Structure 1
Amino acid sequence: MTGYRHPFPLRWNDNDQYGHMNNTVYYEAMDTAVNTWMIRHAGLEVSGPVIGVARASSCEFLASASFPEVLEVDVAVARLGGTSITWDLAILRRGAPDRSGALARGTFTHVFVGREDRRPVPVPEPIRSAVTER
């Protein structure tokens, strides 16, 4: 998987009382970017028999942003396992040439499970193929 950036326009209510993007919104941006990519580019069926559930997430806050900025989430894969994917994420100002000026760096681990029994299953083949495409 290479070069996916997801736009994330900030909303008025994304600002906290200090006038900058609230820390929870960084997680929302990362989660939205990853899931949008899986649905649009890797064939994830949100009502299908296999779903991705969050196992872990982290975020290192490096700089602030505020409404009305439009940000981008740069999505890459840190680790592809048998039943999970750990995403490597960077939140950037729109048009940033690379990750060096990231506002935040984060990770998000999805474990794929059966919708009904919530037991781990292999990463679905369409997602695995899309992740490993060069």
Structure 2
Amino acid sequence: MGERMPQPAVTRPHRPERRPFTTRWNDNDQYGHVNNTVYYEAMDTAVNTWMIEHAGLDPHGDAPIGLVVSSSCEFRASASFPEPLEVALGIERLGSSSVTWSLGIHRAGDDEPLAEGRFVHVFVDAATRRPVPIPTGIRSAIESRLLA
């Protein structure tokens, strides 16, 4: 038999902040685990709540808004109601008008993700829906809290 090739080191994405996500009774599907759509809801809620609380996003104002143009999720393990979950947030890429969020769904306090996802937000003018630069407050919060 041949010699074993060394395995590359597993690097964990840098996701410095976590948001709690409480599972609900109706989150379980007929197989008894949290349905895949709930993971997307958790990630979307975590990102937008983070931007509102830490970056000054006002979704009802006339300032630029972030629209999701792409999303994905890889499922590694399942969870069930009433497990408390957390969404870990980080940044994969910060562009001039877009940000790619790196997201993990974890059991509360656990390092190993149940699922790993990404969302791409493009910031647009609220009225015209044309791309604009990421608002200064959002960029500053991302740089200081998620890229540090």
TM superposition outliers: structure 1 runs of 4+ over 3 Å: none
Q: Does 1:113 align with 2:86?
A: no
Q: How many residues align?
A: 131
Q: Does 1:17 align with 2:30?
A: yes
Larger Rg: 2
Q: Does 1:53 align with 2:67?
A: yes
Query: The residue matched to 1:89 in structure 2 has which SS?
Result: strand
1:2 shift after superposition: 6.2
TM-score by length of 2: 0.86
Unaligned ranges ≥5, structure 2: 1-13
Q: Does 1:104 align with 2:115?
A: yes
Structure 2 match to 1:125: 136
Unaligned ranges ≥5, structure 1: none
Structure 1: which amino acid aligns with 2:77? A
TM-score by length of 1: 0.95
Structure 2 match to 1:86: 100
Structure 1 match to 2:4: none
Say what the alpha-carbon RMSD is for the aligned residues: 1.2
Identity, % of aligned positions: 63
